[in-house]
Amino acid sequence: MSTSVAMANHQHEWEDRAWSLPDLPPAVQLSGQRERLGDLADDELLEVARAARRRASWAQARELAAIAELHRRRIDAESEVDPGYRMLSAHESVTEEVAAALMLTSSAAATLVHLAERLTGPLSATGAALEAGRIDLAKARVICDTTDDLPDQATQRVEAAALEKASDQTTGQLRRRLKRIAQRLAPEVIEERKREAVRRRRLELWETPSGTADLALCDLAIEDAHAIYNKITAAAHGLKTDGDTRPLTTIRADLATRLLQGTELPDATRTLLTHTCATPAASGVAAPAGVPHETRTAAPGIGAVPTDRTSTASDRGAGGMGGVGGTGGDRCSGGAGGEVGGGYHIRSDTGGHSNGRVGAEAEVASLADIVDELLTQARGRARPADRRIAIGQAAHHIHHQLSDAREAACQGDTHTHGRPGYRPPAKMRQEVAARHTTCVFPTCNQPSHRCDLDHTVPWRPGITCRCNLAPLCRRHHRLKQRLDWQLIQIWPGLLIWVTPSGTWHIIRPDRQ
């Protein structure tokens, strides 16, 4: 099936389902393309905005329904099998599959999978309201968050109360109202939820788009949080009264920073801030010892920004990766090398040790495009039920075809391929870490120095060589162990993930 045919089928699918979209007001039907919005009156523009939001809600409901169906299939397929501690469960696996397909962080994908389960299960009425455009995704999240862990009867009553007025309330108004209702219906559950959250209290750090960073104390007991905030605010007001010209918000931030850094404060300020510091925490929960430091690169719930090192099948529509024009014969010239299916060649000097670094990187980029095209062709030839197997076989076939060229490129001064031992030498570890600065899963931001240096093909029968090593965080190392996932390193630093759905993700070296 060609990409053009897939695109045509994709368009027909939407045309066939157009009847289920929320009704459009006359102004929207008459507005035509974007350029004609200038002809509409102000109230008609607001009608267009409201109709677009209803359509967005419908699309988000369909997205969640698709995720829920995928999750159900994966869980059913593994219901009789215990994956063991060395690999991820089916639930965790589908979370990573969604993360890779939608370019989300694992935490954001987990939130989406959980929401999909809830809106197609106990909160199906909320899912129907989202699909009809009566509420948006933000309000659906509020309903889901409030009813988590509530008994079934309480969940139904909270949901009914929410949907009664949700379309006329902001998310803040809805959250406050549902919180009161849930507290009245299930006070014990709400109290236990609060205690559990306090037990998970933590300090989090993430970078912001402006080049700064946010530092947050999360899930403190509410009394402790208010006490800290009020005390710092009182000290800030004191400095303001003494003539400090900085904004109050800035003074608060600077005071907190100086306190945490141990910087000397004025006597009056220090006395005020430390007056009741010896008071035990109101939560009554002892601080755990030995808590590991955790750093985030994005705010919680925010998807990671995709990097140029990753190409995904989902980026190109239903037909998989975009095709590459031309023939392989004029892609790579000169040098002894290996032939990839269809007459494509790759030079044996393609790699990080080439004197022509720019040329070598161009060769690797060209190889990635060639592989992309070959996998697209394999997908088009396979039946839908056989695509995962066909893509995996095609990737392994490419890996086999490049074996001689890969061996020639990896031979050093000793003219041997790889090292005999399991542990790579320091120089090899440094090269792999420089090649991939993070875990090689498409959406993972875990720095490579915190990852396992994994043998893509297990050490036996695999080898310890730069063409068989890549950093994997512990979670994605366990994901790789699953039989329905495949990871193939066809060239040093050039890897292919094949998912249980038969999509693929090509990982390039970071410098590209």
Confirm if 78 and 89 have CB atoms less than 8 A apart. yes
The span from the first CA to the last CA of the chain, in angstroms, equals 31
* Per-residue pLDDT, 453: 93
Beta strand pairing call for 469-472 and 452-455: antiparallel
Average pLDDT score over residue span 492-498: 94
> What is residue 303's predicted lDDT score, i.e. its pLDDT?
35
Dist CA 176 CA 98 (whole Å):
31
Of 153, 223, 166, 101, the closest CA to residue 501 belongs to 101
Other CB atoms within 10 A of residue 127 CB: 21
**Of 161, 132, 133, 129, whose CA–CA distance to 147 is shortest?**
161
Give the pairing of strands 504-507 and 310-312.
Answer: antiparallel
19 or 500, greater pLDDT: 500
Collect contacts of 337-343 with beta carbons under 8 A, ≥24 apart.
337/405, 338/401, 338/402, 338/403, 338/404, 338/405, 338/406, 339/401, 340/367, 340/370, 340/371, 340/374, 340/398, 340/401, 340/402, 341/374, 341/394, 341/397, 341/398, 341/401, 342/373, 342/374, 342/377
Higher local confidence (pLDDT), 31 or 278: 31
Q: What is the pLDDT of residue 17?
A: 44
Q: Is the pLDDT of residue 436 over 90?
A: yes
Give 366's pLDDT tier (boundaries 50, 70, 90): confident
User: Is the dihedral angle over the CA atoms 98, 104, 109, 115 positive or is it negative?
Assistant: negative
Task: Look at residues 199, 207, 402 and name the one whose alpha carbon lies nearest to residue 296.
Answer: 207
For residues 101 and 318, what is the distance between their CA atoms, to the nearest angstrom? 12
Per-residue model confidence (pLDDT) at position 143: 98
* Model confidence at 169: pLDDT above 70: yes
Q: How many beta carbons lie within 10 A of that of residue 372, not counting itself? A: 21
pLDDT at 278: 43
Mean pLDDT of all residues in 96-115: 96
| Across 51-60, 254-263, 269-278, 500-509, least confident range | 269-278
- Range in 255-269, 375-389, 432-446 the model is least confident about: 255-269
| 3-class DSSP state of 351 | coil
Decide if pLDDT at 184 tops 90.
yes
Tell me which of 418 and 163 has the higher pLDDT. 163
The first and second tokens of residue 1, run together, are: 């099936």
pTM beyond cutoff 0.85? no
381-395 pLDDT, tens digit per residue, is 999 889 999 999 999
Residue 31 has what pLDDT? 53
Evaluate the CA torsion angle 381, 387, 393, 397 in order and state its sign: positive
Cβ neighbours for 339, distance < 8 A, ≥ 6 positions apart:
345, 401
The DSSP secondary structure of 108-159, one letter per residue, reads HHHHHHHHHHHHTTTTHHHHHHHHHTSS-HHHHHHHHHHHTT--HHHHHHHH
Least confident of 181-185, 332-336, 347-351, 488-492: 332-336
- 401's tokens: 């075809």
Closest CA to 313 of 322, 305, 304: 322
**Distance between CA atoms of 324 and 338, rounded to whole angstroms?**
19
- Token readout for 300 is 């919680």
Between 325 and 207, residue with greater pLDDT? 207
3-state helix, strand, coil in the chain (%, to 5): 55, 10, 35
Report the number of secondary-structure helices (H) and strands (E) in the chain: 18, 10
What gap in Å lies between CA 90 and CA 4, rounded to an integer? 34
Assess whether pLDDT exceeds 50 at residue 147: yes
In this prediction, residue 405 carries a pLDDT of 86
Q: What percent of the chain has pLDDT over 90?
A: 56
Band (pLDDT 50/70/90 cuts) for residue 172 is very high
Measure the CA–CA gap between 135 and 58, rounded to whole angstroms: 10
Provide the percentage of residues in the chain whose pLDDT is more than 70: 72
Interacting residues of 378 by C-beta distance below 8 A, sequence separation 6+: 390, 391, 393, 394
Report, as an integer, the average pLDDT of 23-28. Answer: 57
Confidence at residue 80, expressed as pLDDT on a 0 to 100 scale: 65
Q: What is the mean pLDDT of residues 457-465?
A: 82
- pLDDT, average across residues 154-174: 96
Looking only at the bridges linking them, the beta strands covering 344-347 and 337-340 are antiparallel
Q: What's the chain's average pLDDT? A: 80
Contacts of 111 (CB under 8 A, 6+ apart): 301
Residue 337 pLDDT more than 80? no
202-207 and 213-218 strand pairing: antiparallel
* pLDDT for position 285: 40
For CA atoms 422, 426, 428, 431, give the dihedral sign: positive
pLDDT for residue 162:
96
Give the residue among 322, 324, 304, 303 at the shortest CA–CA distance from 312.
322
* Residue 354: CB atoms within 10 Å: 17
Q: Per-residue pLDDT for 341 more than 90?
A: no
Name the burial class of residue 299, with classes exposed (0-12), middle (13-18) and buried (19+) by CB atoms within 10 angstroms of its CB: middle
Mean pLDDT of 403-413: 78
Say what the pLDDT of residue 39 is.
83
Q: Which of 114-123, 390-399, 412-421 has the lowest mean pLDDT?
A: 412-421
Are 303 and 104 in contact, with CB atoms under 8 Å apart?
Answer: yes
pLDDT at 32: 54
